[in-house]
């Protein structure tokens, strides 16, 4: 390995350490499983080449037109709030570059990941295959209306962006005791929420924190 490449890898390792210790932990992410995922899955592998130097920065990174990676602090709070278990079946809205898909796949049994952009699906598929992550199914959809309650999930996460309101068909796709993470509302203070299904007709909403990310587009 050349000296310059070794230095580059050392810089990325330090940046990842700083992301975990100076960004994610101070945002009250203490779950050991979640922190281990951030340490074991290389975020730099998934970001577009031109942004690798910012892979561990506290910012949103463009992926494809109309879609960005969430800041690491939001990703951390999301994964912690969902309380993923090895037996969980997960629906992800927003494959993006595949990074959060990989994190979900490492914590759950299976992930079905949907995206509105075919180029994002292709990017995520390529990155996940390179990492030999196989418990994931990727699909491109044209509308969130395509999600039906014919398939039920323990966990649903909407990581493609924010929504004005959460569509009822997504809430209906949860099993009883299932959990859904979404960011809703209007800028500049959108609300991250955890929705838990408590019965066939009831859902409990917990407001987690305020943030501001782009709408799903």
| Residue 151 confidence (pLDDT) | 87
Domain ranges of the chain: 3-211
Contact 102, 38 (CB under 8 A): no
User: pLDDT tens digits, residue range 66-120?
Assistant: 788 999 999 999 999 999 999 999 999 999 999 999 999 999 999 999 999 999 9
| Residue 12 confidence (pLDDT) | 85
Q: What distance in Å separates the CA atoms of residue 74 and residue 94, rounded to the nearest whole number? A: 15
| Residue 130 confidence (pLDDT) | 96
| Residue 23 confidence (pLDDT) | 96
| Residue 11 confidence (pLDDT) | 84
| Residue 26 confidence (pLDDT) | 96
Q: What distance in Å separates the CA atoms of residue 170 and residue 184, rounded to the nearest whole number? A: 14
- For the chain, residues with pLDDT lower than 50 are none
Q: What distance in Å separates the CA atoms of residue 40 and residue 29, rounded to the nearest whole number? A: 16
Q: How far is CA 27 from CA 22, 73, 78, 209, in A?
A: 9, 6, 11, 10
Q: What distance in Å separates the CA atoms of residue 86 and residue 113, rounded to the nearest whole number? A: 17
pTM of the predicted model as reported, rounded to 2 decimal places = 0.93
| Residue 7 confidence (pLDDT) | 63
Contact 115, 33 (CB under 8 A): no
Kindly report the CATH class assigned to 3-211: alpha beta
Encoded tokens for 153: 């999930």
Q: What distance in Å separates the CA atoms of residue 73 and residue 58, rounded to the nearest whole number? A: 7
Burial level of 152, CB count in 10 A (0-12/13-18/19+)?
A: middle
| Residue 65 confidence (pLDDT) | 76
Phi, psi for 188 (deg, rounded to 5)? -95, 5
Q: What distance in Å separates the CA atoms of residue 65 and residue 29, rounded to the nearest whole number? A: 30
């Amino acid at each position: 390995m050349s000296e310059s490449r070794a230095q580059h890898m050392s810089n990325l390792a330090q940046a990842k350490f700083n992301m975990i210790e100076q960004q994610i932990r101070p945002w009250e992410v203490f779950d050991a499983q979640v922190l281990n995922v951030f340490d074991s899955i290389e975020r730099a592998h998934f970001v577009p080449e031109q942004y690798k130097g910012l892979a561990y920065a506290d910012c949103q990174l463009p992926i494809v037109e109309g879609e960005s990676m969430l800041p690491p602090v939001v990703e951390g709070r999301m994964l912690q709030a969902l309380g993923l278990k090895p037996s969980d079946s997960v629906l992800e809205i927003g494959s993006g570059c595949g990074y959060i898909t990989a994190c979900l796949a490492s914590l759950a049994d299976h992930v079905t990941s949907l995206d509105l952009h075919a180029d994002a699906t292709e990017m995520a598929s390529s990155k996940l295959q390179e990492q030999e992550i196989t418990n994931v199914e990727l699909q491109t959809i044209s509308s969130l209306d395509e999600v039906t309650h014919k398939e039920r999930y323990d966990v649903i996460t909407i990581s493609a962006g924010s929504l004005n309101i959460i569509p009822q068909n997504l809430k209906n796709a949860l099993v009883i005791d299932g959990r859904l993470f979404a960011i809703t509302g209007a800028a500049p203070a959108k609300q991250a929420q955890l929705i838990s299904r408590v019965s066939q007709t009831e859902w409990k909403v917990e407001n987690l924190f305020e943030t501001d990310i782009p709408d799903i587009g």
